[in-house]
Structure 1
Amino acid sequence: MPRRLDQAVLADIARGTHHDPHAVLGPHPEGGAVVIRVLRPLADAVEIETLDGTFPAEHEHHGIWSAELPGEEIPDYRVHTTYGDSTSVADDPYRFMPMLGELDLHLIREGRHERLWSVLGANVHRLESVLGEVVGTDFAVWAPNARAVRVVGDFNHWQGATHAMRTLGASGIWELFIPGVAAGTTYKLEILDKNGHWRQKADPMARRTELPPATASVVEESAYEWGDQDWLDRRASSQPHRSAMSVYEVHLGSWRQGLGYVELADQLTAYVTEMGFTHVEFLPVMEHPFGGSWGYQVSGYYAPTSRFGSPDELRYLIDTLHRAGIGVLLDWVPGHFPKDEWALGRFDGTPLYEHPDPLRGEQPDWGTFIFDFGRAEVRNFLVANAVYWLQEFHADGLRVDAVASMLYLDYSREAGQWRPNVHGGRENLDAIAFLQEANATAYRSAPGVVMIAEESTAWPGVTAPTSAGGLGFGLKWNMGWMNDTLRYMGEEPVHRSYHHHTVTFSLMYAFSEHYMLPLSHDEVVHGKGSLVDRFPGDHWQKMATLRALLAYQWTHPGKTLVFMGCEFGQYAEWSEGRSLDWWHLEDRLHDGVRRMLGDLNRLYRDTPPLFERDSDPAGFRWIDADDSRRNTLAFLRMDDAGEPVAVVVNFAGVPHDDYALPLPRAGGWDEVFNTDSESYGGSGVGNLGHVVAAERSMHGFPAVATIRVPPLGAVILRPSA
């Protein structure tokens, strides 16, 4: 006869509020027999099936049924449940051991589980059984302050009492394996907080979600077979700092509206290949509730947004780009997250993922929560997330958004609105340690990737190695170059001579970090207008200025990035709600900019002096930095062997004939690029493809060539073969 259990315990089990339902439900040896208890509310009859036969169960308390099986060995079994004239057969969730091992729990407590998504969230398993294979999903979630956690979804009509999870001790993890739940099942986690309030939450580790504005999580199991091993092998042996990198920044929803991941795989890959870019960078593809945030307010850190298709379809997009020789960078937002009630905020009824101190846990600029970077489990959640995108989606790098907001405790706060660190300073020591760990782990787990910081201050050592006390990023966005350059370009050409130092100042610090030069989405939104519309002059002058700017950007030390639409001079400010203005390409000047940048990309990729020593002062030399009167810059770029290319950029509205250009060697030099080519819509001022430098000392150089420099244009020369 089964032992009598405490009625209060049974009541908790029946309500789904007990912290350890497996202590009552499932199989338990008792007095030389095995007692199996199952929860089947409103059932008319319950039987337990084993290989040895079928055993009737008796109703014990409020839907709890128990059956006594002979012997002490726990058998595999299934449950037959009868409701009226209908009988169903199912495996019992409470007969399975936890899918997380002791090592998993230890690593989670230590904050060191680098494959966290493989044990938390919803993971499909196939288990052997003498009664036949059991297919189901193991649900596991970190909610240390919850009184109870239940899984609700399509499979239980969103009534969670029959699927209460068990707590796994001091780890704060709750777990339950549910047979019969397969990929595609919609679910949420139902959490009972210490105040007795239930709340339904999306799974923080969900790898797929419903289409917004719906907010449930979806069980996901990847079946994708990658075809990019050659790309990964080449990447692993590459040196990003010394390789060509020109990046096309893309918002997937508005590049061409209506395209999903599969359609983008064909159309975007073809376009980027034609344009000659080495990489694309996607604005955040992680799930987010509000499309107008462009993905920067993330609610599902492990789930690609379902707006464009399934996770495997995103894999297909990335794989297609890789097989075409194009790298993929993803925007990553570990700095803050939105306050939506169904998401991460106050997840178990307490500040869990966010810092509990409002002076450190809330971001006033964006109305969001800030992660508690010092908490081991939170740090683990984020570090593993970086690894997840690099390993599971083969991303070639992550661009980390708003790094400054993490580094400074007083970021965007007035006096009295922030709390100093233990040393009395303004640095967020926990965030610093987190960023160092995330970068070090990323590089170790995915050879050849690059971590990129959008960091807008003069924080020292952003790209210095963590072993030297740096943050460990591979590249840093050069916001100083961007701000100074656009300020200069906004001046009328006749006034630029008074601001010449603005456009040359970047070379004072160009080698203090490993830089990327960004003309990003941030520069074409929030009333700033488009990039080209900032420039003075008529239509021809604006397009000529854009061509000159892009040539200057591509030849300046540092990797390059440009936002979609800027490559053909879109006039309208970018909006996520509509496609780019592709009709501009019917205009020869807009199309000329596009074709020019394609040619420039191909020249760049084939010209090591333009990228090999981006971070080395020996790879750059001014020819003339002080020609403010003519608004002209002239400089050399050199590769490892010392082979040079010469660049002359004229930001004046008039050509410079008979321009004396000092050069490092006498003899023939080929004009390999001219932004003023008539084929790009220019005026055709140039040097007929060739000049000769005569021996003559000038500005410390041994030779001088006399060239023509086009108005609002740039030319690139290299020694004749």
Structure 2
Amino acid sequence: MRRAAPLSDEDRGRLLAGAHHDPHALLGAHPMPGGLLFRALRPGARSVTVVAPGLRATLRAEGDGLFAGVLPLREIPDYRLLVDYGDTTPTVRDPYRFLPALGELDLHLFAEGRHEQLWQALGARVMTHQGVAGTRFTVWAPNARGVRVVGNFNYWDGTGAPMRSLGSSGVWELFLPDLGEGELYKFEIARPDGSKTVRADPMARRTECPPATASVVHASHYQWRDAVWMGRRGARPVHTAPFSVYEVHLPSWRPGLTYRQLAVQLPSYVKDLGFTHVEFMPVAEHPFGGSWGYQVTGFYAPTARMGTPDDFKFLIDALHRAGIGVLMDWVPAHFPRDDWALAEFDGRPLYEPGDPARAAHPDWGTLEFDYGRTEVRNFLVANAVYWCEEFHIDGLRVDAVASMLYLDYSREDGGWTPNVHGGRENLDAVAFLQEMNATVYRRCPGVVTIAEESTAWDGVTRATHHVGPGGFGGLGFGLKWNMGWMHDSLGYVEKEPVHRKYHHGEMTFSMIYAYSENYVLPISHDEVVHGKRALVSKMPGDWWQQRANHRAYLGFMWAHPGKQLLFMGQEFAQGAEWAESHGPDWWLLDPSYEAEADHRGVRDLVRELNRRYAATPALWERDTDPAGFSWIDGDAGEDNVFSFLRHAASGHRPGGSGTGGDGPLISVTNFSPVVRHDYRLGVPGDVPVWREVLNTDAPCFGGSGVANPDPLKTEPVPWNGRRTSIAAVLPPLATIWLLPA
């Protein structure tokens, strides 16, 4: 063996400092005049020996963990390195003998922002490369001087694992042979100022359980069993289908349960209550449980608090096999400033805008994404696709859309910079949302995207290619949370009945704009925390009146145009505010609790609402069609009464069974605590007889038992602008539904 020419001082210094862009040019085996140069960087080793069939040669120590030598060989053999650490002498493959494990097409698509399955290109991926099993590590860090992989496999010392830069892409890569799933890792980044930072992988598909912050090498082995669900989920547009959502904070629904334990209990509970979907509050990894998942650090990893990614798939699979769709809260509006995560990831602003004032989210102490940067937009669009394709998620509820759309969101005058047209719209965010929606709908048939958007932005649920009055194409969402309805209706029911007549318009105003977007009516977690009180506790009066108001409100909500969403605990009238530390007060349903029947009655009502809802096309077929609704009397403010008709798309066939079918439905809500006898309502003349099919005042729900006779006959008495009418009994603080008998 000949002595190798030493590395230049510059190469040696940069290599040992973790600041070299091409360590593969210095390490491994390389042809040279007269033989092959072998060089290895093995910190702490006593000696390094090249071993191959018919070959055993010990390299010369060069100091600082470097070993090198020139062997009289013409071709690079299939060699190993025998490394003597004194107490152990492993024989390992040399990572620096491998070509890049990431293709040019991947880099090209990422550079253009069009890599729709980015998780297959970046991050840690278990694979076979050049016939050898191992793990490929890739990370985007264009401002880094150098990047090294650190993990439990190298005792968190990355000196011997520098990555190479793949040209101008900003991507760094290293294939570590014989390294498999379950290993902990991070990236050690040499920043432009010469300092170092150790970061979790932005593309990690699994993480340690918080408060630990390492990424975990992951390979999924899950075998899905939901082919029937996946095959039919896109058969009917969500706008013309039943859509009743139970919102869940998974860690606190039944505290202490794992994903697999939740898969035993949650599907049966939701199915029993008749909800068509569950919506998970954010499940992507987040360091602080008190953020409820809204400050994400691991956008591609379900939280490890309840198990592995495959365990999470097991839960979704169980829900699908129970016939329940799964929606997920998705948070592309901001990310926290933790110094091991995305903030100034490679030493400079990368995922966030370069202007600190523009990057800072004024409400949450977090950072906003730079939607104008191609690679950042790709990171987020691919993330939306990832949850739908890899985890079979059926819908994404996109959080805080308003904060993304407006440059002046929560900012004072002078604290923001107008767009190129002088406006307040964030044009980059608009383009991102349009691209995200278009991509998800194209790639994932049957998936719905839902915007939590609290302003009057025009065209949130309009197709992206349809330009509105403001000059923007639609954002392309499928549904939008109706925050106005939520705010106004809760404001109304919080009033004492004697005062409600002065606020009647707050309940009818929603119909002025009900068809401007495709709406969801949300009674979400946001409405039952931070001093806002649980839904039943918002209601005035004594305990009986509170529950009656609660039931009447739910009956009104289920009949109102739009889809429904109800947060856990509100289905059984939990009186306390929700807290993530203990979840719903399930003890209220314990038979040993003296008021158990009160709470069980409300839950029984929710079950019956969902059953009737699913069986009555008039309540969902025309949610986005003005022809699906007509007031009977929207001006009965003195009576605190709201009465209206819902119409099915197929019209009415007289002589129905009263079980729903395709006939119209009458909904009447009496938000007064008095019984109203012989209350006349104008009704269609082609329905001779009506039957009460739901009454929130029924004794089985905890009500007083005031009911209508069966049947209710249509009479030739003109009323409410119609030629015929019925004389109904309106129970106190109650909603009734009537169908053709």
TM-score bucket (shorter structure): over 0.9
**Contact 1:666–1:702, Cα closer than 8 Å, also in 2:** no
**Contact 1:142–1:173, Cα closer than 8 Å, also in 2:** yes
**Contact 1:150–1:160, Cα closer than 8 Å, also in 2:** yes
Aligned runs of 1:304-383 on 2, under 5 Å?
304-383=302-381
Residues 41-81 of structure 1, C-alpha deviations (whole Å, 9 max, x = no match):
34333222234533332334532223445554333221111
Give 1:29's aligned residue.
Answer: 31
Which of 504, 508, 511 aligns to 1:504? It is 508
| Aligned-partner Cα distance in 2 for 1:529–1:257 | 21
Residues 169-217 of structure 1, C-alpha deviations (whole Å, 9 max, x = no match):
1000011111232111111111110111111111111111111111111
1:207 and 2:216 correspond: no
How much has 1:499 moved relative to structure 2?
A: 0.9
Give 1:79's aligned residue.
Answer: 81
Give 2:45's aligned residue.
Answer: 43
Give 2:19's aligned residue.
Answer: 17
Residues 489-509 of structure 1, C-alpha deviations (whole Å, 9 max, x = no match):
011111111111110000000
Aligned partner of 1:417: which letter?
Answer: G
Aligned partner of 2:12: which letter?
Answer: L
Residues 511-545 of structure 1, C-alpha deviations (whole Å, 9 max, x = no match):
01000000011101111111111110111111111
| Aligned-partner Cα distance in 2 for 1:54–1:616 | 80
| Aligned-partner Cα distance in 1 for 2:105–2:130 | 23
| Aligned-partner Cα distance in 2 for 1:696–1:50 | 101
1:649 and 2:669 correspond: yes
Give 1:393's aligned residue.
Answer: 391
Which of 641, 648, 673 aligns to 2:694? It is 673
| Aligned-partner Cα distance in 1 for 2:50–2:716 | 99
Give 1:640's aligned residue.
Answer: 649
**Contact 2:529–2:578, Cα closer than 8 Å, also in 1:** yes
Give 2:722's aligned residue.
Answer: 701
Residues 84-121 of structure 1, C-alpha deviations (whole Å, 9 max, x = no match):
36421111111111121101111111111111111111
Aligned partner of 1:136: which letter?
Answer: G
**Contact 1:207–1:302, Cα closer than 8 Å, also in 2:** yes
Which of 161, 164, 168 aligns to 1:163? It is 161
Give 1:524's aligned residue.
Answer: 528
**Contact 2:43–2:159, Cα closer than 8 Å, also in 1:** no
| Aligned-partner Cα distance in 2 for 1:127–1:120 | 15
CA pair 112-540 structure 1, distance change in 2 beyond 3 A: same
Give 2:659's aligned residue.
Answer: none
1:559 and 2:545 correspond: no
| Aligned-partner Cα distance in 2 for 1:196–1:10 | 16
Stretch moving more, 38-47 or 677-686: 38-47
Structure 2: where are the runs of 5+ without partners? 467-472, 652-662
How much has 1:623 moved relative to structure 2?
A: 0.8
Equivalenced residue count is 716
| Aligned-partner Cα distance in 2 for 1:689–1:304 | 52
How much has 1:267 moved relative to structure 2?
A: 1.0
How much has 1:259 moved relative to structure 2?
A: 1.0
Give 2:656's aligned residue.
Answer: none
**Contact 2:18–2:190, Cα closer than 8 Å, also in 1:** no
Residues 236-269 of structure 1, C-alpha deviations (whole Å, 9 max, x = no match):
2221111100000011121121111111111111
CA pair 504-86 structure 1, distance change in 2 beyond 3 A: closer
Which of 470, 473, 479 aligns to 1:475? It is 479
Aligned partner of 1:655: which letter?
Answer: V
Which of 456, 459, 475 aligns to 2:457? It is 459
**Contact 2:101–2:129, Cα closer than 8 Å, also in 1:** no
| Aligned-partner Cα distance in 2 for 1:527–1:420 | 36
**Contact 1:359–1:419, Cα closer than 8 Å, also in 2:** no
1:719 and 2:737 correspond: no
% same residue: 58
**Contact 2:45–2:84, Cα closer than 8 Å, also in 1:** yes
CA pair 42-564 structure 1, distance change in 2 beyond 3 A: closer
**Contact 1:278–1:325, Cα closer than 8 Å, also in 2:** yes
| Aligned-partner Cα distance in 1 for 2:500–2:64 | 83
| Aligned-partner Cα distance in 1 for 2:312–2:28 | 40
**Contact 1:14–1:64, Cα closer than 8 Å, also in 2:** no
Stretch moving more, 1-10 or 378-387: 1-10
**Secondary structure of 1:87's match?**
coil
How much has 1:7 moved relative to structure 2?
A: 3.3
Aligned partner of 2:141: which letter?
Answer: A
| Aligned-partner Cα distance in 2 for 1:689–1:697 | 22
**Secondary structure of 2:634's match?**
strand
| Aligned-partner Cα distance in 2 for 1:291–1:450 | 27
Residues 319-372 of structure 1, C-alpha deviations (whole Å, 9 max, x = no match):
100000000100011001111111100101101101111232111110000100
**Contact 1:510–1:557, Cα closer than 8 Å, also in 2:** yes
Stretch moving more, 36-45 or 642-651: 36-45
How much has 1:11 moved relative to structure 2?
A: 3.4
| Aligned-partner Cα distance in 2 for 1:431–1:301 | 18
**Secondary structure of 2:89's match?**
strand
**Secondary structure of 1:603's match?**
helix
Aligned partner of 1:554: which letter?
Answer: W
| Aligned-partner Cα distance in 1 for 2:158–2:435 | 38
| Aligned-partner Cα distance in 1 for 2:536–2:154 | 56
Aligned partner of 1:526: which letter?
Answer: H
How much has 1:698 moved relative to structure 2?
A: 2.5
TM-score (norm 2): 0.95
Residues 631-661 of structure 1, C-alpha deviations (whole Å, 9 max, x = no match):
1111111111123111111111111110112
| Aligned-partner Cα distance in 2 for 1:63–1:12 | 14
**Secondary structure of 1:626's match?**
coil
Aligned runs of 1:411-450 on 2, under 5 Å?
411-450=409-448
| Aligned-partner Cα distance in 1 for 2:74–2:103 | 25
Aligned partner of 1:466: which letter?
Answer: T
| Aligned-partner Cα distance in 2 for 1:341–1:591 | 47
| Aligned-partner Cα distance in 1 for 2:338–2:84 | 41
Which of 487, 490, 494 aligns to 1:486? It is 490
**Contact 2:681–2:720, Cα closer than 8 Å, also in 1:** no
Residues 458-500 of structure 1, C-alpha deviations (whole Å, 9 max, x = no match):
0000000001110000000000000000000011111111111
**Secondary structure of 1:467's match?**
coil
1:573 and 2:582 correspond: no
Give 1:684's aligned residue.
Answer: 705
Residues 292-330 of structure 1, C-alpha deviations (whole Å, 9 max, x = no match):
110101111111111111111111111100000000100
Aligned partner of 1:33: which letter?
Answer: G
1:658 and 2:660 correspond: no
How much has 1:688 moved relative to structure 2?
A: 3.9
**Contact 2:449–2:479, Cα closer than 8 Å, also in 1:** yes
**Secondary structure of 2:386's match?**
helix
Aligned partner of 1:252: which letter?
Answer: L
Give 2:126's aligned residue.
Answer: 124
| Aligned-partner Cα distance in 2 for 1:7–1:542 | 79
1:55 and 2:57 correspond: yes
**Contact 2:687–2:740, Cα closer than 8 Å, also in 1:** no
**Contact 2:676–2:731, Cα closer than 8 Å, also in 1:** yes
Stretch moving more, 351-360 or 330-339: 351-360
**Secondary structure of 2:10's match?**
helix
| Aligned-partner Cα distance in 2 for 1:345–1:85 | 40
Aligned partner of 1:589: which letter?
Answer: D
Aligned partner of 1:578: which letter?
Answer: H
**Contact 2:680–2:719, Cα closer than 8 Å, also in 1:** no
